Structure 1
Amino acid sequence: MDEVTRIPVGGEQSYDVLVGRDLLDTVPGLLPGATRVALLHAPPLKELTDALGERLRAAGITPLPIEVPDAEAGKRVEVAADCWDRLGEAGFTRTDAVIGVGGGAVTDLAGFVAACWLRGVRWVPVATSLLGMVDAAVGGKTGVNTAAGKNLVGAFHPPVGVICDLATLDSLPPADLAAGLAEVVKCGFIADPVILDLVEANPAAAVDPTGAVARELIERAIRVKADVVSGDLRESGVREVLNYGHTLAHAIEKVEGYRWRHGHAVAVGVVYAGALARLAGRLDESTARRHRTAMAALGLPTSYPADAWPQLLAAMRVDKKARGSRLRFVVLDGLARPAILEGPDDALLHAAYEEVAQP
């Protein structure tokens, strides 16, 4: 095990995010007193889950592997209900725990299962994707998707620790790694411009999970999120800035039936947010243009079909940040200066979309 970086997350329940390589041995120590631990995982991660189960057995903890559908297909109430049935059959008590082994979808599901079982038991995300490490695993937001939209059903339930094992990224498909970087780039725009400098200086290094640049990007993005959620667990204020680009992104995911990668949707959404802020007179042209060039440098999409606008606008109206019929967008008043744009005119929204639309 190489050097481990500990990034603290404060708030109602403090915990550490551990970043390093080969960290499975650290997991049992996060769950003192547990006799049973459910291991929620997607099929491709069975081998890693079995290895974690061996560590738990060595610590006197009985693992209960629960295989769930991969990606967004697993983020459904029906899947969560099946998990709760399994916990009940195994006799899980308040001292037992849940671990999510996988990317953002499994992390969201595992946290939701833990939040609801006995009104809240301990849980640990073992993030195996870049998206999971820098976004879903940190902050205690858990949830599932419904026909009405993404993440509209969930709970705030902080984990007792987060494991970001960089070794799991070595076998991640390049497209998935790049998709996760969309959330990293987002953090650069809202809080840490050094992230943008690193990506623009060497995009190839950014997508090399074994290198120092990728690790620095990951740790910087985690620190941004940790700093924000430490002061606002329940998204009642400043935490909204983490949704930069996500209003349109979640609408794209809904229109696509959740077949698009989350990071791809975020990339388009961030470009849209930059265009919206510029047209609203809030952001200079060069910074707005930088949104597109940064995402494009990583091979991420920056546009979406023009004829999808009516569906996207309808989907955005049920966004979590909306207040009644008024849409609210996170925008920039300058680099690393996030703010809220309240109730923009539909004509302005459409004009901004025309800048990301494709025939």
Structure 2
Amino acid sequence: MTYWLSTSSTQAERAAGQSPAEAGGTAPTARDPRPGARVAVSSGGVLIGRAPDCDIVLTDERASRRHALVHMAGDEPRVVRLGKGRTEVGGEQVESERALAADDLIALPGLELTLVHEDDAPPTEDDWVLRKLDGGVFGVSSSPYTVGGGDDALRIDGWPPRALTFWRTGSGLSVELGTDARIDGEALAGGHVATCASGARIEVGGETIQVLAFGGMLASTVADESTDRRPRAVRLAFLPRGARLYVDGCAAYLPERRAELLSLLLAPPEPHRPGELIPDDVVLERLWPRQTKTTNDIHVLVHRIRKSLVSAGIDGAALVERDSRAGGTRFVLHPEASAAVE
């Protein structure tokens, strides 16, 4: 399902018979569509404010430069209040952030946005499928795509609800475990996020499904292990709350603590370099100074980052690596990559 922000002038402006520009509100620019236009909501988010680099630019003087962000958190749309002034949903002021639903009205200085949704296009020929070993092949027809014993896209009796959640990551596929499972024989705890290779077998409660790339183009892409998928351009841009991560053209919104860890990995203190393992003691001291925290807190934070990236179509399991034996964490980069923190 795809969500869109549909723009319109405020009720007061409509009642007065004025255009947004005449009322001192928004001006119709390339990044600020005229009433009735739509902007797709992605995991990277739609940034709204007076700054000229915002996705929707407000000219009302009551608006902040970075006023609000509407983004996808998995399959749930959310709004984050970044600046001062009016950010209301259904007539109620947003204090920090909140979930959104279809047809919600978001009121900002000089502009109202309605959240609308529509079904995704049907999957293309080059797609992923799940094969039950006792028979049956099922297409991964959406992202996220859940498998389990509850109200899931693919129901398997005896499995807990949302036992597996699959996410498309570019041409690849990642899986989040909602319960303990085995992937190609390796025992993994619930909460783990992994990259799926074509042919991988995932076992839950004694029953196994196999992940397969379906279609010539995707199959050849997955099979070509010589392809270097390490990112060449990474940028972390901080907002008043959290940050946006840009990875080779894809974007994801990250809350504060997750953004802080990525900032440390992408711009570590000397003598460390971006792309290297950053020792746990450095991470603990930087993120939680003078607090009693352990490597388990780093594990939890890494899991949350991976989940945020995977839900944005970025292979978080491959990019954010933990080496428990060496006691470090790194953001995987191409040797010639550029990494910036702003």
TM-score w.r.t. length of structure 2: 0.31
Higher helix share: 1
Higher strand share: 2
TM-score w.r.t. length of structure 1: 0.30
Structure label with greater radius of gyration: 2
